[in-house]
Structure 1
Amino acid sequence: MLLTHGFYSQFLKGQTIADTQKSNGSITSFNLESIAAVREVAQTAKTNGGTFYHVELGIPEDHMYELEVKDPDGNLLSFSWMSM
C-alpha cells in the first residue's frame, strides 16, 4: 500500500518520518522463484522511479542471486533467489 506522508504519520504515535535518503533503519527482504523474477522486480522499480544495485558477496549466482532496490522515497528492499 502506498500512503501519503500525512496519512502514514497517523500510524506513528508521535514519531517522525525518517529521511530515508540520509539514513536507513531496515531492509525488507523477499525471496522470489527465479533470478529472472528478481531482475524483473528490480527493472520494474527502476521504470517507476526507483533504483537498484547488486552487492557482491562472493556467492555464485547459481547458489544465490540478490538485488537491492531503493524506492523513490529511499526505502530499501532486497529481492533474492536461493538454490534449495
Structure 2
Amino acid sequence: MPTRYAFLILRTDDATAPDRRVMSRGQSTLAEGQTPAEFAGKLLRENRSTRSHYTGPRRCSVWPIDGDGPIPRIAPDAALHFDD
C-alpha cells in the first residue's frame, strides 16, 4: 500500500524572518521502493531548480500522513529533516 507523506521546505538562513521561510509544502505518495530521504532529496532538487532566485540553505521536512488535511507551516516533532 502506498504511503502518503507531507512535506515542508523552508529557508534556513538567519536573514529571513521566520514567518517568511516557507518555500513549498504539500503532500505526495512515495514511489514504490522510495525512501523518505530519497523523496526529500528529489523535492529539494526540484525546489532549487524552480526557485533558483534563492540560493541559500533549505530544509525539507517529511512525515507520513493520513487523509488530505492542511499542511502546517511548522513540521511536527516526528518529522524527518533533510538539509540542502
**TM-score scaled by structure 2?**
0.29
Greater relative contact order (CA < 8 Å, ≥ 6 in sequence): 2
Instruction: Flag the structure with higher strand content.
Output: 2
For the pair shown, the structure with the greater C-alpha radius of gyration is 1
